[in-house]
Amino acid sequence: MTQHSTGTSITFDRATKTYPGAAVPALDALDLEVEAGELVCLVGPSGGGKTTALQLVNRLVDLTSGDIRIGDRSITDQSAIALRRTIGYAIQQSGLFPHYTVADNIATVPVVLGWDKARIRTRTAELLELVGLSPVETWLPRYPAQLSGGQQQRVGIARALAADPPVMLMDEPFGALDPITRVAVQDEFLAIHRAVGKTTLFVTHDIDEAIKMADRIAILKPGGKLAQFDTPANVLSDPADDFVAEFLGAERGLKRLALTTVGEIVTAGTTGAKAATTDGARPSTTGWPDVEATMTLREALSVVSAARADGAIVHSDGSRLGEVSLHDLIAPPAAGEDREGVRA
Ligand SMILES: Nc1ncnc2c1ncn2[C@@H]1O[C@H](COP(=O)(O)OP(=O)(O)OP(=O)(O)O)[C@@H](O)[C@H]1O
Ligand SMILES: [Mg+2]
C-alpha cells in the first residue's frame, strides 16, 4: 500500500448518532481529536455510546449529523468498503471467522487487497511473532476453536494489523480475558503500539486498563456526552465533575500511584528516605522487601504492605538502585505536573 502507516489523526466533529425510534441520541455532538500515533481510551458506563462512537468511524453505523475525519478526509468521501480497508478493527471475543484457519483469518484484508501469496505469508508470520505466537508453524493451520481465548484475541489483533492500517479501532479487545492473560496481552499490545505507533481508539470498561494504556482518556457519560478528555494524570487529579469522580471510584488516589514507577522516583532523586526520621538518623532498612525498578508505586506499596515494612529496596538489572520509604510511595511528587496532590 502506498499510504503511510503512521501519522493519521481521527477527528470527531459534533458527531451525533440517534438510532431510529430513539428519543435521545446514543452519541451527542462528540468533539474529539485523536492525534496521529496517539492511543486514546474511550471509557464510560454501559450504554454510554462507546461502541457507537467506534462504529461511526468505520461506518458500521451511519452518522445522524456532524462529521468524522481521518486525516483531512471525511469518512463519507469514500465508500464504506474502501474506508474499512484503512482501519484495523478488533473486538471482544476476537470476532475471528470460525471456519478459517489462523493463517486465513489474518490474511483476510491482504487477500482482498490483492497481495501476492509470498507477501501474505511473510506478513502473517511477522504478525504472529509480534503478538507472541511462535513458532508460527504451530499456529497457522489451527482453527479458532482450537485456541484459548487469549490466543484468539492475539490472532484478532494480528488480523486487525495485517494490512498495516494507519488507524486502529478496538472495542474491549481484552474484555474476555482472565486477569493474568489480560495483563500479558495489554503489555504485548502496548509494546506493539510503541513500535508501530498507530493512531488508536480503544474502548474499555476497565478504568485501570485505560490508565495503564492511554495517552489520553475520553470519558463519556450517559446520553453520549463527553464528560472529560485529558491525560490519565490530569483526569485522576482533576476530575471535571462529580460524574467523572464517581466513575473513577474511591480509589482514585491509589490509581494515580499506578502512573509512576519506583525507578522513576529513585532516579529523579525525589525520595526522602534519608530524611524520614526527625533526629536525622537514617532509618533502618532491615526487613525491607526487594522491588523491581519497573514496578509502579501502587504495586510496590502492595509489596511493602504485605511485608509489613516501612519501605522497600529498589533493584534494577540485578543491582541496587536505592530505596523508597512508605512515605515516598504514598506521597510522590505529582507525575509530570505541578500539582500538590490529589484533591479530596
Ligand atoms: N443498533 C442499535 N439500534 C438501536 N439502539 C442502539 C443500537 N446500538 C446501540 N443502541 C443504543 O445506543 C446506546 C449506546 O449503545 P452503545 O452500544 O454505543 O453503548 P456502549 O457504551 O458501547 O455500552 P457497553 O459498555 O454496554 O458496550 C444504548 O442506549 C443502546 O441501547
Ligand atoms: Mg460497547
Q: What average pLDDT is seen over the chain?
A: 87
CATH, domain range 10-257? 3.40.50.300
Mean pLDDT value across residues 213-229: 94
Nearest CA to ligand 1 atom 25: 46
**With bands split at pLDDT 50, 70 and 90, how would you rate the model's confidence at 276?**
very low
**With bands split at pLDDT 50, 70 and 90, how would you rate the model's confidence at 343?**
very low
Among 213-227, 245-259, 278-292, the minimum mean pLDDT is found in: 278-292
C-alpha 276 – ligand 2 centre gap (Å): 48
Q: Give the C-alpha separation, 235 to 216, whole Å.
A: 9
Give the model's pLDDT for residue 281.
58
Nearest CA to ligand 1 atom 11: 26
pLDDT, tens only, 89-135: 988 776 899 999 999 999 998 998 899 999 999 999 988 988 888 89
Q: Ligand 1 pocket check: which of 51, 63, 206 to mutate, most ligand atoms within 8 Å of Cβ?
A: 51
Give the model's pLDDT for residue 7.
64
Ligand nearest to the CA of 223: 1
**With bands split at pLDDT 50, 70 and 90, how would you rate the model's confidence at 204?**
very high
Fold match between domain 10-257 and domain 260-330: no
The response to whether residue 19 sits with its C-beta less than 6 Å from ligand 1 reads yes
**Does position 4 have pLDDT exceeding 70, yes or no?**
no
Q: Which three cell numbers stand for residue 112?
A: 482482498
Give the model's pLDDT for residue 197.
83
pLDDT, tens only, 72-95: 999 999 999 999 989 999 887 768
Cis peptide before 222 (omega within 30 of 0): no
**With bands split at pLDDT 50, 70 and 90, how would you rate the model's confidence at 344?**
very low
C-alpha 51 – ligand 1 centre gap (Å): 7
**With bands split at pLDDT 50, 70 and 90, how would you rate the model's confidence at 278?**
low
Give the model's pLDDT for residue 280.
54
Q: Give the C-alpha separation, 186 to 172, whole Å.
A: 11
Mean pLDDT value across residues 282-311: 91
Give the model's pLDDT for residue 221.
92
The model carries a pTM of 0.84
Mean pLDDT value across residues 308-334: 89
The response to whether residue 48 sits with its C-beta less than 6 Å from ligand 1 reads yes
Q: Give the C-alpha separation, 170 to 107, whole Å.
A: 19
Q: Ligand 1 pocket check: which of 19, 24, 91 to mutate, most ligand atoms within 8 Å of Cβ?
A: 19
Kindly give the number of the ligand 1 atom that is closest to the alpha carbon of 55.
18
Q: Ligand 1 pocket check: which of 46, 52, 172, 207 to mutate, most ligand atoms within 8 Å of Cβ?
A: 52
Higher pLDDT, 151 or 279: 151
Give the model's pLDDT for residue 1.
34
- The set of residues, in sequence order, having a beta carbon less than 8 Å from that of 236 and lying 6+ positions away, is 211, 248, 252, 255, 256, 259, 342
Kindly give the number of the ligand 1 atom that is closest to the alpha carbon of 17.
12
**Does position 243 have pLDDT exceeding 80, yes or no?**
yes
CATH class of the region 260-330: alpha beta
C-alpha 92 – ligand 2 centre gap (Å): 9
Q: Give the C-alpha separation, 220 to 202, whole Å.
A: 13
The response to whether residue 46 sits with its C-beta less than 6 Å from ligand 1 reads yes
Q: Ligand 1 pocket check: which of 50, 54, 60 to mutate, most ligand atoms within 8 Å of Cβ?
A: 50
Pairing mode, if any, of strands 167-171 and 199-203? parallel
Residue 342 CB burial class (10 angstroms; 0-12, 13-18, ≥19): middle
Give the domain ranges of the chain: 10-257, 260-330
Cβ atoms of 212 and 299 within 8 Å: the answer is no
Give the model's pLDDT for residue 6.
52
CA atoms within 13 A of residue 260's CA, in its CB half-sphere:
26
**Does position 342 have pLDDT exceeding 50, yes or no?**
no
Mean pLDDT value across residues 57-68: 96
Q: Give the C-alpha separation, 303 to 311, whole Å.
A: 9
pLDDT, tens only, 161-203: 888 888 999 999 888 777 877 888 888 888 888 888 899 999 9
The response to whether residue 25 sits with its C-beta less than 6 Å from ligand 1 reads no
